Structure 1
Amino acid sequence: MDLRVNLLSTEWRTRQILLTGENTDVQQIVKKLPVERGDNKLTVHVSGSGTARMIIDLRYNRPATKEEKCPFEISPIEVEETNQVTMDGPIAKERGCDICGRCELDPGEPDNYDFNMFGPSAEESLQIPISFGRRKRQAYNKICIRFQVSSINEKVHGKSIVKVGLQSGVETSSEDLEKLLEDNRNIARYELPSNGKGFVVFYLSEITPNETKFIFRLNDNFKGAKSSRQPAAVEVYDYYNPDKHCTQFYRTDPNTGADIGVDYECDGDGKQCNCLQNTCVQPVEEEILRLVKNRRKPALMLFKYMCDLRKANYAVHVKIKSLTYNLEKNQIIAAAKVLKAIHQEIQKPKVDDMITFFWSINCKLPSLEEGKEYIIIGKDGNNFSTDGREQYRYELSETALVISRNQRNRKLQRVLNNFIKFSEKGCQV
């Protein structure tokens, strides 16, 4: 072995490596290759006799990908009232109801609306809950939490932790947790403080692409102002590699979302940041279908919701034309074409007009797709400065409802068609 290796590059000192029979067992390392100098080219000249192998190992710093930071999927966290009527007795057994009173069997779908059902008599016959579109709580403070955890990209993770934080004054019971272990063998065990408050930790044998489902009841005995409480968090992480973790926030308070977006607004040098918290849009399709099952006339409820100025003052049927990301402001921006102005607000959008929506990039919902159609109900937008010009935008958060027009569920689409028919007569003051 007698090799002479010269490494050359513009604006970089030539490196020479001599390989002989005396040093072939020792790895020769050249650090700091000229990756960002000159024309970014490295020339290798080799002379002599023998055989050698050269390996170039390039490493660079980059932002971690979403999968690297959060390799797990946490479904939207549903917080809803328990249904005492269907939790016990023959009804629960007959209809396959769970511990929170949600039943699988559909008792039927009454959808015969009287489209002349307006005015005071209609108001008296059908009171629209203040929390429609938001999970609510019964007077006795018994609520239900449910969500699913899985891995992304078909990967399998071994022993993992799911830690469910509880808001102040909220506690759970070991009875429900024991049933959860009984129904799901993937959950090996759980731990919680002796008083049942603060948090509950679940130990999972593994997390796979198949969902591990969580459902249990909570008691909310908080005596202060509900709005003063900080949201709680569901954390999922690898037991042996806790840096691989995901977090999703939720609330048990009425009229708040199950998904909380947390953004940070920092000063110029990034040394001081303020936490900006907003309530994300909740999934509403399942709630509408539950109302259908319970014969609650969801089309009329959607209409009343749209006409409640505390929650909304416009409704549009749109088609999403483009989605962009503003990483500086941590926002997703959707440009949409108006297919039908169901109910107009200040801007009075017309058919074929282009309007703009935005929401926090940390929110899982809404999950809008280009080329898809949606009915959106919400509050007035505002003028925002974008690239030196003013643009009117609608924020999709808080009380906004986003309902897909692309789902093939006939019941859901029938409800939306009836909602549009109701809206043709306008909101009555």
Structure 2
Amino acid sequence: LTEFALKSREPNVDLTCNVTLSSQRNFQRSLRLKRDNAAILQQLDIRDVKGKMFVKASGTGSGLLSVKLKYNVLVPPELLCKFNITVRADIHKPRESSSKAIGFPPDLMYDLFGPSRRRRSVSSWFRGWRRKQTTPTPLRHDPLPVNFLRDSRTRDYSPASPFFPEESGAFDNGRSDTEAPSVEGPAQSMLTYDVEVCSRYIGGEDSNMAVIEVGLFSGFEPVEKDLEKATSDNNLLAKYEMTEKNVILYFDKIPWESPTCVKFRIERQHVVYNVQSAVVKVYDYYNPMHSCTQFYGPGSTSPLLKLVCEGNQCECAAAQCPRKEPFQEVERAGTATRKRAKLRELVCQQHDFVWIGTVSSNEVINGYRHITFRVDTVIKEGLEPSASAMTGTKLFVARELCSTADLIWGARYFVFGRDSEPFEKDGETIMKYTLDKDVRVFNTDESLTSKRAENLHSILLWLTSGFARQGGCRT
């Protein structure tokens, strides 16, 4: 220490420190230490350190060099997530009316009102007439003041009495008996969902104060009276807040033995198409790092998924699915030569790539079907060269409601597809393909189910032999 102290007092300090990396030949950074800046801390930030780092000092004097390495460790979600959370969103079904139809025996109902097809309009008028009565309703077996005129050729009785004012035009409302009444006005856009969120703390005791943020579908608002009722019914729910995008629930604690649940309705205020999934987040009030996130979305049969819109143009979501008979024009072409010519036209003019491969997985995530596909044969290259296409698996995405995109795990398919734009994920370029109306798929196992499928399969197999020998799309 004495020697170091003596040398550090040297008046002539002129040091140069050069830093290089083995992984980057052109990388070189320098630090210059002189008498006028010797007391000032100098530092270098090197973001990408791979291999070895070399430090070389030259000159006179002495200095202190320290290296601080910072790196991130991927923490398993179960270590951060201290809660179990589930969420459901179902279309609200109002309670059925408690009013019951008059309990006439079936034979008497037939004699009074005729066949059930005709009975609908009569019974609806009768219920309305019943509500208007101020006198007690006659008992079931009391004689009714009705005069019947019977047609001897049928069993269809026609009431001729003010009791049934059909002949006076009371039932003539401009539509047939089987036609449902139209609904007009704002009621057409009314849609209500029941949202239920349940959470349980993962541990040996109850949690601290906790918060659950429930995201809402676009265009929907919560029914506040439901939240008020939930606050009064659930002694763990301290209060709630409503914002434009979510409902915030504050809990005194979340139990660990059994989940606590909150259920409320959300009503559509504005019609929004292409509705996306919403997010539910639960976390410890005093330690927000301990959080869990869950997505929820409309069910596959939800009206919210029936339309897909771009700008002012909307179409049925089913129209975005792969077609049920994708090679109909090929099958109808006539002779084998014409069928092959038509198939060549589809491959070369309407599709960017044609692959054959096997489905590795098929799962639904937030209303969309994610399918991984392993390519083993490339008939036509797209943006991805053949070597890249046959490396790893490819991701296809389709709406959950598309039955034609529900590819069977382990099955082998022809896929006639369109290129997509690559995107970055975790520093890696990934291609995600869409299974939509512009994509054609054929399950080779279908060739065993019918003669028609067998013939189509044989035509498609020509792509793996004759099509390639004839130069593919270059001819």
- Normalised to the residue count of structure 2, the TM-score between the two structures is 0.32
Higher helix proportion (structure 1 or 2): 2
Larger radius of gyration: 2
- Normalised to the residue count of structure 1, the TM-score between the two structures is 0.35
